[in-house]
Structure formats: structure tokens, C-alpha cells
Chains A and B, each alone.
Chain A
Amino acid sequence: MNEDDEFARALADALGSMYRVSLVDADNRVQASHGAVEGDRVTCARIPLPRSASAVLIEFDVGALERAQRTLQLLSDRGDPAGNASPAFPHLDDALGALISLAEADVGHPISAMTRAEKQQVVRFLDERGAFALRKSVESVADLLGVSRFTVYNYLDSSRRS
């Protein structure tokens, strides 16, 4: 019970004193302020209001946001009965497929419809994101492009050099 209370207080502390929202005029003079923000890493965002010379200024403490994130992470770990450290982390076997989908989205169409230059771009996209550190990834990409894995290795070698 004590431990839970401490946890609740830590969460409240982390979430509190995080934002201050102010109404400012065209010269950034503060008209009104709500909330409080503390800390030595305060950042702000100024959002102009439509059809008005005023703007809202949102100040927030980056340190507090990071503390809140850590606290929320702790909270989600506690909620996982198996005690897995990070349930949101995908299995690496799924990573290559996910990266290929990202690469296809980056180009705008599937690999089967890509030009020569776009296919080269996909291989570089995957390489820049570390895809070829994954087991069997060169074979999978070679199959997808209809080339041998030696060709993919040779291409990676020449593109990393240039």
C-alpha cells in the first residue's frame, strides 16, 4: 500500500508542474497565465489564434516530460503480469517485413512495380536502417528482387563505398 502510494505520488509529481498556458498579445506580452512550470529546461510553443492578434504560449519542462515518460513506462511494466520489460517491442523476425513495407511506402508503390532506381533506393533504405544485420535478410531481399544473394552483397559493398 505504501509502495503504491509512493508510486501514485511520483506520477502526480511527474505530471504536475509540467505546462503553463498563457495568453499573449502581438508583442508577446502576457495577458493571463494558467498552470505553473518549473525546471531548467523549459521550452515553449507559440500558437497564433485565428482572427485575433493574440496567441497562446504553451511552456513545458522537457525534464518533467522525460520523468513522466519514465514513470508511465514503469506503470505499464507493472501492468504486465508476465513481467516482460517491454511488451510493445516487436519480434525481430517481423522487423524486415516492416522495414520493407516502410521502404515501399517511402517510394509510393510495391517493389514489383518499382523502376531500377527505386529498387536500388529500397536496398539503400534497408541498409541505412540496419536491416542487413538481421539473419537471412540478404536472402529475403535477393528473392524479392529476383537476384542472387551474392549480387546483393556486391551491391551493398559498392554502395557503402560511394
Chain B
Amino acid sequence: MPVSAEFTIYPFIEGDALPPHVQAGIEAVRALGIDVEIGALSNTVRGEAEDVLRALHAAEGAAVAAGATRIVAIVETVE
């Protein structure tokens, strides 16, 4: 089942540069060979539910280890 997961890692730091706790989350996803779209307010992963949820789990673990205080994720099925 294809899904998309949009997630934002807090604390939110304004600006073009990604702060280390966001960078860590994104690198953890890419390390699984899964692509992440980096947006202005959030990041998005698309794919089969199993892969996307695995990616989110990896992102959350790595981000928290790097100092994230909150992660908000929205997972939706894709028609």
C-alpha cells in the first residue's frame, strides 16, 4: 500500500541550513536507500507503507539521538 509521510523535526531552526538534529534524521533515511524530499517546513518520504514506516522509525531514532525534542509526522495513504 503506497503512503506518504510528511515529518517535521523540532526544535525548528529558521533558515536555509538544516540543523544537525534534522540532518541526522534525513541521513538515517538515506542510509536505508530511501529518498527524502526536503521542504521549507517539513520533509517527505513516499513509498510502500513498510518502507516509509521503517524510514520514519530510523529518522526519529537518529534525530532524537542528535538532540531533537519533538517529531511530528503525518502518514497518509496515497490514492
Select one of A116, A148, A158 contacting B6, CB under 8 A: A148
A117 adjacent to B16 (CB under 8 Å): yes
The 25 listed contacts between A and B (C-beta, < 8 Å) are A114-B40, A115-B16, A116-B15, A116-B16, A116-B38, A116-B39, A116-B40, A117-B14, A117-B15, A119-B40, A119-B41, A120-B40, A123-B40, A123-B41, A146-B39, A147-B6, A148-B42, A148-B74, A148-B76, A151-B8, A151-B41, A151-B72, A154-B72, A159-B12, A159-B14
Q: A154-B72, A155-B8 are in contact. Are A147 and B39 (CB under 8 A)?
A: yes
Q: A119-B41, A120-B40 are in contact. Are A151 and B6 (CB under 8 A)?
A: yes
User: Chain B: residues with CB nearer than 8 A to chain A?
Assistant: 6, 8, 10-12, 14-16, 38-42, 72, 74, 76
B6 adjacent to A154 (CB under 8 Å): no
Complex Cα spacing A31 to B12, Å: 63
Judged by a CB distance under 8 angstroms, whether A126 is at the interface is: no
Give the secondary structure class of B's interface.
loop
Select one of A114, A120, A146, A147 contacting B14, CB under 8 A: A120
Q: Which residues of A contact B76 (CB under 8 A)?
A: 148
Q: What number of A-B contacts does a CB cutoff of 8 Å give? A: 52
- Closest chain B residue, CB of each to CB of A156: B41
Judged by a CB distance under 8 angstroms, whether A145 is at the interface is: yes
A151 adjacent to B15 (CB under 8 Å): no
Q: Which residues of B contact A119 (CB under 8 A)?
A: 40-41
Q: Which residues of A contact B14 (CB under 8 A)?
A: 117, 120, 159
Q: Which residues of B contact A115 (CB under 8 A)?
A: 16
A155 adjacent to B41 (CB under 8 Å): yes
- Closest chain B residue, CB of each to CB of A114: B40
Closest chain A CB from B66 CB (angstroms)? 18
Q: A116-B15, A117-B14, A155-B12 are in contact. Are A145 and B41 (CB under 8 A)?
A: yes
